[in-house]
Structure 1
């Protein structure tokens, strides 16, 4: 590795540590993810080019898919689906709000129709960006919209957790978890499954990518083969680092210059989407008695992968959050292409 690249990687790691450790001491949720995102944004905007290997990014997403499967096994998901009306509301309302705002962005001629829709869709940000390129959208603007929303969701999460509680576990508890013995056989099988999922995503590029393949692999391993998914905290921290750096480093000068004309209005539209989704979360609190932090994460339009990491490190109903996020991701993968084509056709005369 050339000296300049080594120096930049060292700077990225040190900055991430400097940001993540205070967050952990303050008991903020997902300090590794949040610290790596902020560090990546700082280096990206400073013009320091650092690239996370795609193989590492896909493996991290596959591991997050296994984490979702572990937190929300099929029996738990079936129990949650007894309240089908809540899931129908949670899944469809955020999709409808997102598509509506994307439609308005296209009508206002701020963005082309396909770009506006794929940028507005809730789901895994990396999956939406990948699919956007296949349907003729501007991948740079879609990535900016998706990852800017993830950053906004994570930032608001810190504020919400500070108001209502539910922050992460104390550092001492985390340290004990890191040093706890690990089932070597289960860990090896989990890593093998995640590697196969990442390899399959690399080879075939399915909708949802390594996250969905990892989720399917985790379900097969846990609910069909009866083998527990083993994900020690240090492995999830490594996955969070790869995901956070991949998100933050996308905010480079070229992307910002490309989007500078629409960036203020884009930020305002995304803020409105977060406000509307927070209002829907408030309805869950009032109608269902769900705690505010769980409701916020369940209704969050951020990426399913990043929200899963935040939920896993917070005192929330993680199965409920992950079931809602996973259901929404699968719904978007099912209807997204058709909706994007329809909006693109409808808005093309106005572009």
Structure 2
């Protein structure tokens, strides 16, 4: 595979690469609106990320030479860390304490199944190194992309696998919501400029940025994400700080993350993705089916409703699951407890597990 610099040189000779950078950014921004609005209207979870990612891919394949500056990607990681930390609340701690054994069993089962899928794809040689393992990992999609890059995997192929699973899981969630007797499983209208106390927001962002810089300084893998996430989770769950992020900030963060992923694509990457499409879809269907069995077990053991059980065991991105749960009549505390526990466990054991499985693949 040619290096990024080689790709950049080639792209300057044709297509959009001939335009000045500011005009290239204008093209990707305008195209992002065209790709995102239909997805938002359709109520697709994570539309604010997938739309810009598709626009970035299209512009990159058209010869674009622009890349998201590292500083902006750093800020995106901090915002995502704070967003996910808001899910770690007192309800999370209480629910986990009451059901910790069952939660760990479900979470480890999903992680084990997803790791097995990644191992099988790696054995075929379709994807290089630990890419298939990270791409199949049952963690939040954005988190896995960040950590995969830190550990040397191809973040673009990881993103392809992760977000393809997000689309599948979101689609199945609609069916489960229908047959489970739930209405309104679509994405609610966004209150884009809902007032948010600015002083706590600025203070929390400052804390997150400092924590991220410390993580990078100490060379913690994915430290710009993990260190702010850990600190904000403790502060939020203890009640010391209440984290409130405005929708417009999340829109910017998701858009920039989508551009960062999309603009890194190349024809070579898509050729690899095309080869991996069928195995990836089969692994996704197998993982969804397995999660469905786990959801059935929760229904029988705890008597919870089907949609709560499905969302709790779902291998989709935590952010998209949160959107569906928030717009449905489900036990949000239970859903987010299992989802957050899965994220934390994958974050802790993911690097070791990826290396361990890759070495034996």
Could you say which TM-score interval applies, normalised by the shorter chain? 0.7 to 0.9
Aligned to 1:242: 256
Task: Give yes or no for contact 1:281–1:295 (8 Å, CA) kept in 2.
Answer: yes
Task: Give yes or no for contact 1:62–1:210 (8 Å, CA) kept in 2.
Answer: yes
- What is the SS of the residue equivalent to 1:226? coil
Taking the TM superposition and a 5 Å limit, the aligned residue runs for 1:141-290 are: 143-158=156-171, 160-161=173-174, 164=178, 165-169=184-188, 171=189, 174=190, 177-224=191-238, 226-258=240-272, 260-285=274-299, 287-290=301-304
1:88 corresponds to 2:104: yes
1:6 corresponds to 2:22: yes
Q: Distance in 2 between matches of 1:310 and 1:248?
A: 23
Aligned to 2:151: 132
Q: 1:29 to 1:118 in 2, by over 3 A?
A: closer
Q: Distance in 2 between matches of 1:27 and 1:263?
A: 24
Q: Distance in 1 between matches of 2:46 and 2:335?
A: 15
* TM-score under structure 1 length normalisation: 0.79
Aligned to 1:343: 357
* TM-score under structure 2 length normalisation: 0.77
Q: Distance in 2 between matches of 1:210 and 1:311?
A: 27
Q: Distance in 1 between matches of 2:343 and 2:98?
A: 20
Task: For structure 1, list consecutive stretches of 5 or more residues without a partner in the other structure.
Answer: 134-138
Task: For structure 2, list consecutive stretches of 5 or more residues without a partner in the other structure.
Answer: 1-17, 179-183
- What is the SS of the residue equivalent to 2:86? helix
Task: Give yes or no for contact 2:92–2:333 (8 Å, CA) kept in 1.
Answer: yes
Deviation per CA, 1:154-179: give whole Å up to 9, x if none.
3541463376341121x3xx3xx334
Deviation per CA, 1:109-165: give whole Å up to 9, x if none.
4456644433332222224413431xxxxx22x641443222331354146337634
> Which residue among 45, 49, 52 is the counterpart of 1:36?
52
Q: Relative contact order, CA 8 A, sep 6+: which one is greater? A: 1
- What is the SS of the residue equivalent to 2:346? helix
Q: Distance in 1 between matches of 2:203 and 2:312?
A: 30
Task: Give yes or no for contact 2:49–2:258 (8 Å, CA) kept in 1.
Answer: yes
Q: Distance in 1 between matches of 2:19 and 2:252?
A: 23
More displaced stretch, 109-118 vs 34-43? 109-118
- What is the SS of the residue equivalent to 1:71? coil
1:100 corresponds to 2:124: no
Deviation of the 1:82 alpha carbon:
1.0
More displaced stretch, 184-193 vs 76-85? 76-85
- What is the SS of the residue equivalent to 1:178? coil
Count residues with an aligned counterpart.
334
Deviation of the 1:293 alpha carbon:
4.7
Q: 1:204 to 1:63 in 2, by over 3 A?
A: same
- What is the SS of the residue equivalent to 1:228? coil
Greater per-residue helix proportion: 1
Task: Give yes or no for contact 2:60–2:265 (8 Å, CA) kept in 1.
Answer: yes
Deviation per CA, 1:306-346: give whole Å up to 9, x if none.
44664586435544444323322332233334433443443
Q: 1:50 to 1:307 in 2, by over 3 A?
A: farther
Task: Give yes or no for contact 1:114–1:344 (8 Å, CA) kept in 2.
Answer: yes
